[in-house]
Structure 1
Amino acid sequence: MKIQIKKNAKEMYIADNTDFEGNYFGNDQWEQVMEKIAGKVVEVDTEQLFKHEFNTKPIEGVAEEGIRVMEEYVEKVIDDIRKGKAHCEFCNETSDSDKVCTNCGRIDYLEPFVDEYEYEE
């Protein structure tokens, strides 16, 4: 599974971390990271899945450890393995089904990772 980062990720980061009075409270290091990965396709660490964010694998020349990328910085998801899976809020595990938890059997605590219309490949 991979994600393509939006080309304007650095500008988005700066805007997200600037208040209405124009005061910047972001981190220069994260600004540089966003600049380096803007427009790039990076591999996602699928060990732990989330609905609105992604943990990447280490990115050569950028981060020795993976980084967390919020959904709004993602242009597209490639080979999304989250489809048909859900987070169970009862047992706090990832279910391999979005209809019934494959861990505890509950049906009313599932939060699907991906809505059917959410991403195009």
Structure 2
Amino acid sequence: LASPVKRYVDQVTRMAETQNTKLLILRKQLQEKEELLQARKAHKRGKRVRLEGTFVYSTQDVLDVAREVETKLVAKRPRGRPRKRPVEEVEEEEDAEVLGNSSSASDNELVDYVARRTRSKRVGSDLLAH
């Protein structure tokens, strides 16, 4: 029986099924994203994690756990001032001789200098510009 009412019912049923499927997919994606965010926010170490699952806290137990966790953190922390990398001196005379063999005109123009390698990336290009 191919009546207009039956066709309408089939269309509405198909539309409801597709909408339900889309809704399920969106809910699943939302749940996965929320789990990811909660995993990022969750504490992985420290006093709270150590005390997790304990329902009755005595002051001494809490203090012992706090001291233990803080000593681990202090032992892990680097001491003293942060040190700069040692300065390496590189003589450019050797490079100038190698370049001079390939072109004799540039040999007279090259100036001997000592380049210091530091953290700055501009040092090498600044020295070549002079």
TM over 0.5: no
**Larger RCO: 1 or 2 (CA < 8 Å, sep 6+):** 1
Structure having the larger proportion of residues in helix: 2
